[in-house]
């Protein structure tokens, strides 16, 4: 049996405690502290042809996925969570809940796969979308049409770390009858809880900080209310079958246990790196909402506990110097993705390809758990003139 959900808005527990308690497991067979893996794809009925534990078939539900979904709902303060095989599968499910002719607003700076889904898949299905600077509530207001059904938010955004005012945008959308969906992958529920600020749905690529070790793929949706939208999404999840395996669910649940301590340290490291880079003459600009000079600084201080472990830098001298800097680093892995314990650096325009809107001199940095002084020393040597 899986431990039942903790109170959805616990006033008496801090995130570190919630992360541990929400992933606890009650084992009536062997009293194990760690949850076992339920690899069975099917579950037996009793003599009365009933399902004694509620499980029928792993595509529909599985004990390991139930534990993960329960933990995610508790962490975000939501009524219901659904786990998926990837962040893109979770994103796609939101769009599959809409109708042809509906309109979606997405950020002008967002994970490139989100507008790509709308453009290459859903536009053929009759779903329309507009790209807007969602850090400006007035721009969102002007872009809303009678057929607008969803405003998709991503804050901090990828890769420019723009910050949307979640409370203001959620209130605006509620007044206009539009749903707000927030990609909370970069902030995590440790640093920011969009549902408690008025958003309707939170999306996560659980591949990133929630898994936390660059070794498991997953995604999730968390709903503020268990209403028609949540139930339609559950239907898409079950019929479409883009669900995580029991082992993937187990791995992400394990990652959640250390989420709070990892994210806090990564944020502290990122703050030090951002301050060092902002003062370096070879760096044109640092995008990081923990810097007072950043346009999103005031809003981030209000709605985030810490500014997070991600930053982007623009290197003076264009793409050539940016690639040179990345190539000279010794402690940073030159790789896509983020949120793992190791520090990663990526030339985003190269990763996204010819349709990329990322500045050619921009490097995206996922700050890991190495000592900040060692990371700064590595950056310093890589920034030395050739």
Q: Which residues are catalytic?
A: 59, 111, 183, 208
CA gap 214, 258 in Å, rounded: 14
- Structure-token match 């959620």, residue found: 170
Q: What secondary structure letter does DSSP report for 42?
A: B
CA gap 312, 278 in Å, rounded: 11
* 209: β partners: none
- Contact of 26 with 266, CB cutoff 8 Å: no
H/E segment holding residue 256 = helix 246-257
CA gap 146, 119 in Å, rounded: 21
CA gap 140, 128 in Å, rounded: 15
Neighbours of 97 (CB within 10 A): 21
Radius of gyration over alpha carbons of the chain, in Å?
21
Asked if the bond preceding 19 is cis, omega within 30° of 0, the reply is no
CA gap 158, 203 in Å, rounded: 14
H/E segment holding residue 20 = helix 15-21
Q: Which tokens in the block code for residue 143?
A: 């872009």
Is 295 exposed, middle or buried, given 0-12, 13-18 or 19+ CB atoms closer than 10 A?
middle
User: Residue 108's closest CA among 358, 277, 280?
Assistant: 358
User: Residue 166's closest CA among 182, 150, 177?
Assistant: 182
Q: Which tokens in the block code for residue 286?
A: 């640092």
Q: What secondary structure letter does DSSP report for 333?
A: E
């Amino acid at each position: 049996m899986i431990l039942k959900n903790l109170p959805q808005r616990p006033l008496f527990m801090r995130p570190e405690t919630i992360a541990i308690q929400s992933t606890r497991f009650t084992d009536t067979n062997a009293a194990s502290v760690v949850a076992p893996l339920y690899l069975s794809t099917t579950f037996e009925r009793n003599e009365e042809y009933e399902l004694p534990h509620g499980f029928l078939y792993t595509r529909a539900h599985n004990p390991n996925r139930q534990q993960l979904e329960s933990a995610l709902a508790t962490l975000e303060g939501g009524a219901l969570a659904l786990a998926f095989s990837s962040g893109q599968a979770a994103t796609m499910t939101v769009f599959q809940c809409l109708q042809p002719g509906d309109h979606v607003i997405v950020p002008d700076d967002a994970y490139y796969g989100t507008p790509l889904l709308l453009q290459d898949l859903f536009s053929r299905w009759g779903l329309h979308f507009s790209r807007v600077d969602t850090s400006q509530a007035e721009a969102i207001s002007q872009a809303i049409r009678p057929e607008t059904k969803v405003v998709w938010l991503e804050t901090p955004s990828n890769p420019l770390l723009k910050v949307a005012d979640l409370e203001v945008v959620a209130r605006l959308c509620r007044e206009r009858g539009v749903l707000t969906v927030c990609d909370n992958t970069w902030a995590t529920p440790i640093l920011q809880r969009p549902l408690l600020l008025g958003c309707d749905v939170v999306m996560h690529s659980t591949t990133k900080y929630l898994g936390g070790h660059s070794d498991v793929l997953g995604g999730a949706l968390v709903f503020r209310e268990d209403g028609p939208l949540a139930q339609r999404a559950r239907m898409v999840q079950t019929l479409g079958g883009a669900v995580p395996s029991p082992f993937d669910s187990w791995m992400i649940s394990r990652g959640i246990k250390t989420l709070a301590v990892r994210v806090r340290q990564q944020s502290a490291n990122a703050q030090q790196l951002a301050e060092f880079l902002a003062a370096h003459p070879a760096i044109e600009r640092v995008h990081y909402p923990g810097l007072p000079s950043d346009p999103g600084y005031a809003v981030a201080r209000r709605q985030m506990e810490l500014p997070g472990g991600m930053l982007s830098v623009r290197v003076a001298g264009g793409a050539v110097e940016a690639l040179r800097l990345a190539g000279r680093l010794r402690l940073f892995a030159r790789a896509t993705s983020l949120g793992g314990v190791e520090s990663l650096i990526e030339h985003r325009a190269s990763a996204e390809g010819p349709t990329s809107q990322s500045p050619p001199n921009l490097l995206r940095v996922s700050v890991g758990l190495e000592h900040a002084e060692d990371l700064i020393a590595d950056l310093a040597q890589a920034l030395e003139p050739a």
